[in-house]
Structure formats: structure tokens, C-alpha cells
Structure 1
């Protein structure tokens, strides 16, 4: 009897040891693979998001080119990269020109900031402190810088880090687009593999979650990120044509505010007010009309891209995802964070619905 117990204990120990060794090797391999892919994880995830978002466009292009997938992939890649790179070059050039002009004017002891125009005399009383700081800065900007040196230092450090992050983010975008085109080229087998992965991880509801993933990604990219990109491009065109100083910087800030669902108003409206005080009324009015159209376009574009009454997530989820992603992962996280957090939100709601449905079926049975 004791011998049988001893043999059984020995057999159990061998099985446990065998399982632990296998798990240890598996975790070691997974950890090793993760360390190797860690620098590319953001790029790969964003490439998957891009490929899912562009797959309907890609399929339409394949039909237009009569099944020539490589040609459709190359043209789509060039089109997407152009949409990304051309505005980036214009914004960078604008930033460089403004900084260069700023430096030359400072060295020549010129007026870095134009004084308040005649129109500012009719502004309300509560704007008097702003006008006083503006007037002081136009006479001698160093006085304002010295007075608010701590604030300018903090803003300057943040701004330099943000610019560096934007440059890195643009490079990551380009690499992600190239990877996304490869994923689109092999979309059919990859779709089957992704469904099998969801089924393996989740079970019988795996295909349901796969469909939720695709729908959520497309809704967020089209309805929020796409609208934010269109609005920032519209406001940027208006700034550049009107000759707004530091138009590139203001355009980038508008893009960030549009993505986090605050909107372009906090930047665009003060810029219009500023232009009324330093330029002719006709130019400022045309800019104001264009900015008004851009602000209204949000209420037109979102219902078109999302469908009326069908938002993928509350604004708070998009806001927290974009802000958290930007803090955690930089410029690319601004886009990816909104997608990932919305996806998690939709998964959670779907899990609750499926659980409740399962409990109701169990009670009925």
C-alpha cells in the first residue's frame, strides 16, 4: 500500500515537474520574442489598425485595377504617405521659417511681436490685462520673458519634447504604412488566422469579438481621427493662406485638440481675433468665415462617417485614450491610444452583454 502511494506521489511529481519545465521554456521563449519585438510593437499595432481601416479602400482599388493587388498596394501606399508627408513638410518648413525670422528680428533689435491694433481699443474691459501684456511684449519681449521665466521654461521644454516626438512619430507612421500595405497584400490568409486566434483565446464567441474589433477600429479611425485630420488640414490651409505667424505650430496644436475631442476652437478663435487686430478687415473676415465652416464641419462629418446615433464610445473614452496614449507612447500614441482604449471599452460592454445573455439562457433551461 505504501509502495503504491510512493509510486503515485513520484508519478505526480514527475508530471508537475514536466509541466513546470514546459511552462518555463514557453514563458522564456515568449519573453525573448517580446524583447526582440519591443521596439516595433507600436509600429506593428498601428500598422494593423491602418490595414483594417484601409481594407475597404484597398478592395475597391483591387477591383478597379482588375485584381492587380501589387499595383493597388503600391498606389495606395504612395497616396497615404503623400497625405502624411506633404503636410508634414509644409508644417516643418513653416516652423523653420518662423524661427529663422524670429531669430533675425531679435538680433536686429526689431519688434518680435506687433503691437495691438486700433481695433483692440473697442475690446471689452476684461481683456485689458491681456492687452497690457501684449503691449509690453511688443515693446520689449524680454521683459515679459523675465517676468514669466518659469512658465516659459516649462512650456519651452515641453514644446521641444513634443516636436521631437512628432518627428519620431512621423517616421513611425511611414514604417507602419509600409507594413500595413504588406498586411493588405496578404489580407485573406491573415483574416483567417486572426479569426482562429480570437476563437482560440476566447472560445465560441471569438468570431463575434473579431467583428467588434474590425468595426470599432474603422469607426474610431473614420469618425474621430479622420475628422480631426480633415479639420486640422482645413484650419491649416486657412492659417497658411492668411499668413498667420507660426501657422505650422498652431496647425499641430489644432490637430492634437481635435483628436482629444476638445476641438480647434481654443486655438482658431484667438488666432482670428489676433488677425483682426493686425491685418485688414477683409482678410480677417475671410479667415473667420473659413474657421466657422471648419468648426461646423464637425457636426456634418461625424454623422457621415459614424452613422447617426452610433458612436463607438463616449467622448471621455476617446479623450482619456488620446491623452494617455500621448503621455505613454508619444505622438503615435495620440492616435493609437484612442483606438486601443475604445476597443477595450467595447470588449467590456460586449463581455457584459454575452454574460447576461448566457445567464438568461441558463435560467430558461
Structure 2
């Protein structure tokens, strides 16, 4: 009897050791694979988000033109890359040229800054200080540069760092667009893969969660990126009509500020101050009103564009987008919104299940009927 128990113990010990070795080897393999893929995770996530957002357009184009899905995906990828790279190259060339000219004028002493008008001094809160600072640079540029040299050096260093970050971001976005094109070209196989993962992770609810994730990404795209593009375009129209130089640069700044969920008035306010100093009062006032309306337009546009086709309150999606952006940058706009939407859906299902359970417990049970006498 003891011999049998000892053999069983040895068998169980051997099985446990074998299972531990297999689990350890599997864990090492998964960890190794994760470390290899980790540098590309952000690019793959961006590619998936872009593919989800653009796929309806690609599918509609393929159906309308009678093309294969791969051809429509390739055309859309090239168009997006052109829209991204052409303005970036033009902006970079203009920035290099303007910087070179500015440095040359500073060395030659030929740089002239026009004096501020009295309208600048009448601006609330910052008018007097801004007028005095502007006057110093207009009358004694060399002395002002010596006085404010450290502040200008820090500001230029921050600007250069920001421009470098923007360049890296554009390069990452280019790679992500190419990955999105691959996803869209293989939409059926990619859809089956993600659908299978969702079913494996969430069971029967996986399909509904997958649909919710796709709808949330498209909702955030419309409500955040779409509103930012509209505000940037409206701002550019106003600045172009008002004669503001470097309108394209200001439009880009408005787009970035609007995407990170800050009011565009932060960018448009310096433009308003500039127009009050160089344009007539009528033009400056009209642009100021236009800029305020553009900055406040998200209060009307977001309810119209965000949350369409999603059975989730717009406030939940907006909080998820803003919180995700604060936590993980621009990509957090989408990941945060999807995560909070899924969490809200799970919480609502749990509340509904608890409510049904309480309702069933509160209902009186039917009394047993007395047996009829034969």
C-alpha cells in the first residue's frame, strides 16, 4: 500500500514539474516575443486605428469603382501620405528659408521691427506690458536681445525640441499609414483574427465588444479629428481674408491645439493682437468675433459628430478621449475612449444583471395549490 502511494506521489511530482517547465518555457517565449514586438506596438496600434477609421471610405470606393480592395487601399494610402508629406515638406522648406533670412538680417543689422500701434496698449490685462516689450524691440533691437537673451535662448531651445518631436511624430505617422494600408488590403483576414481574439477573450460578448470598439474609434475620429480639421479650416479662411502672414503655420497650430482638446483661442489670440496693430479696427474686430465663434464651435460640432452610431453617452467617450490623451498622448485619444466605452458597457451589463436578480427575488412566490380530493 505504501509502495503504491509512493509511486502515485512520484507521478504527481513528475507531472507537476513537467507542467511547471512547460509553463515557464511558454512564459519565456511570450515575454521574448513581446520584447521583440514592443518597439512596434504604438505603430501597429496607430495603423489599426487609421485602418478602422478609413475602411468605410476604402470599401465605398472599391464598390463604386469596381476595384479590388487592395487597389482601393493602395490609392487611399498614397492620398493620405501625400496629404501628410507635401505640406510637411513645404512647411520645412519655408521654415528653413525664413530662418536663414532672419539670421542673415540679424547679422547684417538690417532687421526692422515695426513699432506697435496704440490699439495694442488698449488690450485688456496684457496690453501695457506687451506694448512696452514690443516698443523695446522696435526701437533698440540689439539692446532688447541682450536684455532678453536667456529667455529667448530657452524659448528657441523649446521650439527646436518641439519641432524635432513633430518630425519624429510625422515619421511614425507615415509608417502607421503604411501599416494601415496593409490592414485594409487584408481586411477579411484581419477581421477574422481580431474577431477570434475577441471571442476567445470575452466569449459570446466578444462580437458586440468588437463592434463597439470599431464604432467608438470612428466616433472619436469624427468628434475629435473632424472637429479639429473644421476649426483649422475655418481659422485659415478668416486669417486668409484678414491678410495674416504664414496662414498655413497658424492653421497647423490650431489643428494641433484642437486635437489635444484645448481651445483654439490660445492660438488665435496672438493673431488678434497682431491684427489690431497692423489692420484697421473693423478688420481686427471682425476677425476677433470670427475667432471666438470658431473656438466655441466645438460645443455645437462635437454633439453632432461624436457618439453617432454608438450606444454610449457622448460624455463617456469625451472623458475617455481626454483622459487617454493625458495618459498616453495622441494615441490615448482613441485607446482611452475605447477602454472607457467597454468599461461602461460592462458596468451597465452588471447593473442590469443585478437589477434583474433583485427584481426576481422581490417577486412573491406562488403559493402551492392544495391537492384536490378524489
TM-score interval, normalised by the smaller of the two chains: 0.7 to 0.9
Find the counterpart in structure 2 of residue 346 from structure 1. 341
Q: 1:289 to 1:98 in 2, by over 3 A?
A: farther
- Residue-by-residue CA offset, 1:286-322 (whole Å, 9 max, x unaligned): 7556545633543453334225795263645433332
Q: What SS does the aligned partner of 1:261 have?
A: coil
Consecutive unaligned residues of structure 2, counting only runs of 5 or more, are: 362-374
**Which of structure 1's runs of 4+ aligned residues deviate more than 6 A?**
none
In angstroms, what is the RMSD of aligned CA positions? 2.9
Find the counterpart in structure 2 of residue 330 from structure 1. none
Q: 1:119 to 1:41 in 2, by over 3 A?
A: same
Find the counterpart in structure 1 of residue 352 from structure 2. 357
1:117 Cα deviation after fit: 2.1
Task: Give yes or no for contact 1:216–1:312 (8 Å, CA) kept in 2.
Answer: no
So what's the TM-score if we normalise by structure 1? 0.85
Find the counterpart in structure 1 of residue 232 from structure 2. 232
So what's the TM-score if we normalise by structure 2? 0.83
1:127-206 paired onto structure 2 within 5 Å: 127-141=127-141, 143-206=143-206
1:209 Cα deviation after fit: 1.5
Q: Which moves more between the two structures, 142-151 or 85-94? A: 142-151
1:286-325 paired onto structure 2 within 5 Å: 287-288=287-288, 291=291, 294-295=294-295, 297-306=297-306, 310-311=313-314, 313=316, 315-325=318-328
Aligned length: 357
1:241-260 paired onto structure 2 within 5 Å: 244=244, 247=247, 249-260=249-260
- Residue-by-residue CA offset, 1:80-125 (whole Å, 9 max, x unaligned): 2222223323332332233223212211223454321243354457
Task: Give yes or no for contact 1:312–1:342 (8 Å, CA) kept in 2.
Answer: no
Task: Give yes or no for contact 1:58–1:72 (8 Å, CA) kept in 2.
Answer: yes
1:218 Cα deviation after fit: 0.7
Task: Give yes or no for contact 2:318–2:337 (8 Å, CA) kept in 1.
Answer: no
Could you tell me how far apart the structure 2 residues matched to 1:354 and 1:38 are?
Answer: 33
- Residue-by-residue CA offset, 1:155-178 (whole Å, 9 max, x unaligned): 333322221121121122122112
1:28-43 paired onto structure 2 within 5 Å: 28-43=28-43
Could you tell me how far apart the structure 2 residues matched to 1:180 and 1:342 are?
Answer: 20
1:80-99 paired onto structure 2 within 5 Å: 80-99=80-99
Could you tell me how far apart the structure 2 residues matched to 1:140 and 1:3 are?
Answer: 102
